[in-house]
Amino acid sequence: MKVSYYPGCSLESIGKSYDHSTREVCRALGVELEEAHDWVCCGSSAGLKMNKLVSTALSGLNLAVFEKREPSDVVAPCPFCYRRLASAQEEMRQDPKLKGEVQELIEAELSGKLQVHNLVDFLRRKVGLEAIAAKLKKPLAGLKVVPYYGCFMVKPRQVTGCENPENPTSMDEILRALGAEVLDWDFKTECCGASLTASKTGKVVELTGRIVREAAFRGADAIVVACQLCQANLDMRQGEVGKQDQREYQLPIVYFTQLMGLAFGIAPAALGLNHHLVDPVALLEKKGLIG
Amino acid sequence: MIRMTGAAAEKDFSSRVIEESGQNLLACLQCGKCSGGCPISSEEVGGPRRLIAEILYGSKRQALEDPTWWYCVACGTCMTRCPVEINMYAVATALAEMAEREGIAPSEPDIHLFEELFLKSVERYGRAKELKVGVSFNLRTRQPFKDLAAGMAMMKKGMISPLDFLKGGRSDERVARIFSRAHRKAGEQP
């Protein structure tokens, strides 16, 4: 299977291990990721809020980049890149005037016929649990995890098409297929504070705190994420949350692709498991999943 | 609740927000599910329900200075739960664009500064250099040591590279053109 790959800006810096583990896992599953190297930033939440035309045109430019290539499916690991790309295509379908303005700005015609996928749903539905289970070499037995989906991949339902945005299960199903013990919890799609981490750090400590506390209360060994911003916020702000609570939280925040890779027998270093602030390697060694 | 009863200018404000956002705020039931689930609603930040009330009452100044839409990260929880499916981040965009056109000082200067620096980075390089944006933000807000320890720890772990702070890369003409044309269209200086 061949698909266009849209990693996005963060996967070139703070989210490198998400990018690396995605590529490793897709290779193992026989999914060929074709990266168009001329993609641009989607404008993120700043662009979405500050300027509708610029934000839609940035995604319009990306749509044009991917339309020029052969695969009609685009996969984006970053939930914001995914949602913006999918919603820009839909907004232009509904609003021909906006589409006209965007096409003028980007000097390209858009057909609007791409299938845009987030990575979780792509692996769960397009690749499928059977294909995933068939690659299993080292089941993640004894690893207790809580899956954290964050916002942009699932919400709002009208934009993402997610059937159950308050209680999504696609990542749960993948993790179960890997042999992990998936714990029930209430914070699957609660917001981490996203880009407010620089400008309103206190708010992000408050929001990530609720998530970390609940995961610890449920007895999770790790929080599993599918977003580099969720990863960075939960990983980086955990120390501040601990200071507030006068206890030390040591909850590794790992990408679901890293756990897939591990269960497929891929070396931990190739998956970037050594690059997180709260070290997942020690935990995985203790559980007998590494080494 | 009583709607659209104000002076002509106030009515004009409400209908412009409705038109520019594409969201039928007149259908709002003021049920409050949005603010109940909103991650940024607090004692200080009123949240979407109150913001919609301000817009419908035609309280233009209050709405354009409401911190809610500055704090909004477009998580989409409010729209997901809204019985009439109002997309509040589309309303945030309409208010942000209107406030800028009318030269209203941002009620949340820090959030504004970060978003502005972020977009400048996109305009300049075509891709966001988020670590450079973070450093410029900390310098501009005179807190150069903010998150320094975490940054150092991330470098030590190899999560980020010192090069990420330095490298800018080439500019992307296609993106620069999008910004300059959009600014021209909005009637501003590019």
pLDDT tens digits along B169-185: 788 999 999 999 999 98
What fold does the segment set A136-286 form as a domain? Rossmann fold (3.40.50)
Q: Where are the domains of chain A?
A: 2-120, 136-286
Q: What's the CA gap between A199 and A195, in Å, rounded? A: 8
Specify whether the CB–CB gap between B129 and A12 falls below 8 A.
no
DSSP A75: E
pLDDT per residue, tens digit, chain B (190 aa), is 445 555 677 779 999 999 999 999 999 999 999 999 999 999 999 999 999 999 999 999 999 999 999 999 999 999 999 999 999 999 999 999 999 999 999 999 999 999 999 999 999 999 999 889 999 999 999 999 999 888 889 999 988 888 777 766 788 999 999 999 999 988 754 4
Give me the amino acid identity at A47: G
**CA pair distance A54, B175, nearest whole angstrom:** 9
Q: Name every chain B residue with its beta carbon within 8 A of the beta carbon of A254.
A: none
Q: How many residues does chain B have?
A: 190
Q: Tell which of B17, B33, B98, B119 to mutate to test the A interface (max A CBs under 10 Å).
A: B119
Q: What are B136-152's pLDDT values in tens digits?
A: 999 999 999 999 888 88
Cα of B143 to nearest chain A Cα, Å? 11
Strand order in the sheet with A2-5: A32-35, A2-5, A73-76, A115-118
Residue ranges per domain, chain B? 8-101, 109-185
- List of chain A residues with pLDDT < 50: none
- ∠ CA B18-B23-B26, nearest 5°, is 70
- A99 touches B at CB < 8 Å: no
Q: Is B188 exposed, middle or buried (0-12, 13-18, 19+ CB in 10 A)?
A: exposed
Lookup result for tokens 């919400």: A155
Which are the contacts of B7, defined by CB distance < 8 A and separation ≥ 6? Answer: B58
Its pTM stands at 0.95
Do β-strands A73-76 and A115-118 pair in parallel, antiparallel, or remain unpaired?
A: parallel
The phi and psi torsions of A5 (rounded to 5 degrees) equal: -115, 125
pLDDT at B149: 87
**Structural tokens at position A109:** 């015609």
Look at residue A264 in the predicted model and tell me its pLDDT: 98
d(CA A154, CA A144): 23
Residues near B111 by beta carbon (within 8 Å), at least 6 away in sequence: A196, A199, A200, B70, B71
What's the DSSP call for residue A125? I
Question: What is the least distance, in Å, from the CA of B89 to any CA of chain A?
Answer: 7
Predicted pLDDT of residue A148 = 98
Partner A contacted by B19 (CB < 8 A): no
CA A189 to CA A149: how far, in whole Å? 5
Q: Which of residues 91-150 of B touch A (CB under 8 A)?
A: 92-93, 96-97, 100, 108, 110-111, 113-116, 118-119, 122, 126-131, 133-134, 137-138, 146-147, 150
Other beta carbons within 10 angstroms of residue A273's beta carbon come to 25
Residues of B in contact with A41 (CB under 8 A): 122, 126-128, 175
Q: Quick one: residue B147, left, alpha or beta (phi over 0 = left, psi -120 to 50 = alpha)? A: left
User: Nearest 5°: phi and psi at A76?
Assistant: -125, 120
Strand partners, A35: A5
Judging by beta carbons within 10 Å of its beta carbon (0-12, 13-18, 19+), is residue A244 exposed, middle or buried? exposed
- Going by the DSSP 8-state scheme, the letter that residue A66 receives in this structure is H
Cβ contact B72–A198 (<8 Å): no
**How far away is chain B from the Cα of A124, in angstroms, using its nearest Cα?**
23
Q: Tens of pLDDT along A167-217?
A: 999 999 999 999 999 999 999 999 999 999 999 999 999 999 999 999 999
Give the model's pLDDT for residue A36.
Answer: 87
Q: Which of A40, A105, A155 sits opposite B126 (nearest CB)?
A: A40
Q: What's the confidence (pLDDT) of residue A69?
A: 93
Phi, psi (degrees; rounded to nearest 5) at A147: -80, 130
Domain A2-120 of CATH type 1.10.150.120: no
Q: Is A262 helix (H, G, I), strand (E, B) or coil?
A: helix
> Alpha-carbon distance A13 to A22, whole Å?
15
Are B46 and B40 spatial neighbours (Cβ–Cβ below 8 Å)?
no
Distances (CA, A) of B2 to B54, B86, B102, B143: 12, 19, 27, 46
